[in-house]
Amino acid sequence: MSGAHGHGHIEAEGNNRRIALLIAVLALFLALAETMAKGAQTSALSYSVEASNLWSFFQAKTVRQTVVRTAGEMADIAYNRDEAAADPIAKRTDAWAKTVARWESEPETGEGRKELIARAKAAEAKRDTAMAKYHQYEIESMQTRGAGFQSS
């Protein structure tokens, strides 16, 4: 009878070790999922701020373009009334028109309106991808937690 008792004790000890190992592995996966979720969430926030900044810059460029275009239109009206100022006004409005065109597209700096739109949309796409990763890691984390509760 003592032999049977000893054998049962060894078997229970082996099961306890397996359960402890399973819990340790689940805890490891949970920690990894939580860490990766936090990283993805931080990236999503960073890309969201970047996109917001780029859209603000785009709006500022748009406002400047509108102001300069309006000034050019007003100068053209003045030109039609005062022929003596025609040459200086024409030079000024030409310079403003070139500035407006440059603000529309500046491939060399990436800061024209067209480039800002592309950069902002790229940042939004990165943000959306990071948020999708964050949600997936959170789901995995919940599943890992659920698996831990089921085994106990």
We report the CATH number of the domain holding residue 87 as 1.10.287
Mean pLDDT score across all residues of the chain: 85
Q: Which domain does 27 fall in, by range?
A: 2-151
Residue 89: predicted pLDDT? 81
pLDDT at position 2: 47
**What pLDDT score does 151 carry?**
46
According to the model, what pLDDT value does residue 95 have? Answer: 92
More confident residue, 12 or 135: 135
Instruction: Count up the domains in the chain and report the number.
Output: 1
Distances in Å between the Cα of 51 and the Cα atoms of 45, 65, 106, 114, 130 are 10, 21, 18, 14, 13
Average pLDDT over residues 70-90: 77
Would you say residue 82 has pLDDT above 70?
no
pLDDT by residue (tens digit) across 108-137?
A: 999 999 999 999 999 999 999 999 999 988
Q: Percent helix, strand and coil across the chain, each rounded to 5?
A: 95, 0, 5
Per-residue pLDDT reduced to its tens digit, 90-114: 888 899 999 999 999 999 999 999 9
